[in-house]
Structure 1
Amino acid sequence: MTSPHQDRPNGPATAGDGQQQPKYADRAYRSMAGITGGVLLLVLAGWLGGDAIFRGHGRTPWLALAGLLLAVPVIVAFTVRPAVYANDERIRIRNPLRTIVLPWTAVDRIRAAYSTELFSGGRKYQLWAIPVSLRARKRASRQASRAAAAGDNPFGPSRPRRPGLRPGSPSADPTRAWSDQAVDELSELSDARPVPEDGAERPPAEVRWCYELIAPALAGLIVLIVLLAI
């Protein structure tokens, strides 16, 4: 399952002809299953680690503290942190250990095969926040088959969808997997800002490493190795 944030008005923007047009916040794509699993793991780690810290003896409290220092950033990075934010101008990919910002004019294509991938020039970036579920695709295929058997056209015009709504909501299309719908929405935004012709300079990607999670995880790992070695 996934949980997005709906577009919200953020003030008017002036179009080229001088008319005022509404400006919207970024569309957000996140995995509710990943966030839920991450929160449960954090609760479990806090419970076990806290019990070892307050009731353990000898080196046990220090080992538990070092283990928490390593485990908590890793859990947050791979479950709670991943997200994709997109607006009419750019896409921001927040992966476990780094954030990539790309204008749509630098994006060649986005696809969802066994994972969701974005291609820019000769580089490929994974979109961790939009996992591909073969099980969801099979379920959507069954829904499409039932709709076809009932006389509906699953490939015909469907009701309007607001970007990023979670599967099962009134605006989601039950005959398609959510990851495929999300890729379609992102591809539409990318197609509206075509890549410059050959020879034209592409805007570079902005990449920022998540040192606020990397540093404590490395510190916890080092402390844990030292405690186990002595």
Structure 2
Amino acid sequence: MPYASADEREVFVSRFNRVVAVLIWAATAAIAVTLVLSVDDLRLLYLVPCLFFALVAWSALWRPLLVVATEGVTVRNVLSTIEIPWAALINVDTKYALTLYTPGRKFSVWSAPAPGTARTLRATRNETRGRVGKPSVADTVRRPGDLLSTESGQAAEVIRRRWSDLRDSGRLDAGVADQTPVTVHWHWAELAGMVLLAAGTVAALLLA
């Protein structure tokens, strides 16, 4: 699901993943409230697993996004945020999820998964009935994840279009991908929090 920010960047998040995150938060909140109101013994340790699942839902389902901007593409996944300048990009694929390739590396976009069978059928019907257009990718290499009414297809189309416009206008130097750095920022705080809460969850299940 894309939306435009104030500086005209295009931002993509997974609406399905965010709905699942909200459902998990609602369930963990209900369990936590029940524990606080009904028990006063070691079973209160079950609050730790509630916190763990709430953090996982935030890190894995709510927080990931994709930003397509003038300077390049930013991918915020579960464990890291990757900044890919346009000059470093060499290929875009949607086999299992939207995947961006740079020399010697590839980065899957957590917020743009490829569709399953049911979603592929719905997306194909939408295209056949003219509700959405056809992706610009050639038919010989087209995948279900390229369909424009899928999360991966919408994001892939925007990236391919912006990338192609930069090349065609001469604003993107050719042959410099190997020399263009890709920056990876690891989410150390979130990783530490998940490790600590995972250990606390195991301890709570053993002790309570």
Measured at CA, do residues 225 and 141 of structure 1 come closer, stay the same or move farther in structure 2, by a change above 3 Å?
closer
Q: Say which one has the larger Rg.
A: 1
1:72-129 CA-to-partner distances (Å, cap 9, x unmatched) read 1111111101100011211110111211111111111111123211111111111111
How far, CA to CA, are the matches of 2:104 and 2:203 in structure 1?
A: 41
**Structure 1 segment 78-227 matched on structure 2, within 5 A:** 78-134=60-116, 135-147=118-130, 176-178=148-150, 179-191=152-164, 192-193=166-167, 194=172, 196-197=174-175, 201-227=178-204
* SS state at 1:197 partner: coil
- Answer yes or no: is the 8 Å Cα contact 2:134–2:148 preserved in 1: no
- Answer yes or no: is the 8 Å Cα contact 2:49–2:197 preserved in 1: yes
Structure 1 unaligned runs (5+)?
Answer: 9-23, 148-153, 158-174
How far, CA to CA, are the matches of 1:203 and 1:115 in structure 2?
A: 24
How far, CA to CA, are the matches of 1:82 and 1:155 in structure 2?
A: 26
TM-score (normalizing by structure 2):
0.79
- Answer yes or no: is the 8 Å Cα contact 1:71–1:217 preserved in 2: no
* SS state at 1:51 partner: helix
Of 52, 55, 67, which residue of structure 1 is paired with 2:35? 52
- Answer yes or no: is the 8 Å Cα contact 2:87–2:173 preserved in 1: yes
Measured at CA, do residues 86 and 146 of structure 1 come closer, stay the same or move farther in structure 2, by a change above 3 Å?
closer
Structure with the bigger percentage of helix: 2
Measured at CA, do residues 51 and 44 of structure 1 come closer, stay the same or move farther in structure 2, by a change above 3 Å?
same
Read off the aligned partner of 2:123 and give its amino acid letter.
Answer: A
* SS state at 2:203 partner: helix
How far residue 155 of structure 1 moved from its aligned partner, in angstroms, is 5.8
- Answer yes or no: is the 8 Å Cα contact 2:126–2:149 preserved in 1: no
Measured at CA, do residues 119 and 155 of structure 1 come closer, stay the same or move farther in structure 2, by a change above 3 Å?
closer
Of 57, 70, 75, which residue of structure 2 is paired with 1:75? 57
- Answer yes or no: is the 8 Å Cα contact 1:29–1:129 preserved in 2: yes
Matching of residue 25 in structure 1 with residue 25 in structure 2 = no
TM-score (normalizing by structure 1):
0.72
- Answer yes or no: is the 8 Å Cα contact 2:55–2:194 preserved in 1: yes
* SS state at 1:5 partner: strand
Measured at CA, do residues 97 and 156 of structure 1 come closer, stay the same or move farther in structure 2, by a change above 3 Å?
closer
* SS state at 2:4 partner: coil
Measured at CA, do residues 196 and 222 of structure 1 come closer, stay the same or move farther in structure 2, by a change above 3 Å?
same
Measured at CA, do residues 180 and 201 of structure 1 come closer, stay the same or move farther in structure 2, by a change above 3 Å?
closer
* Coordinate RMSD, CA, aligned: 2.7
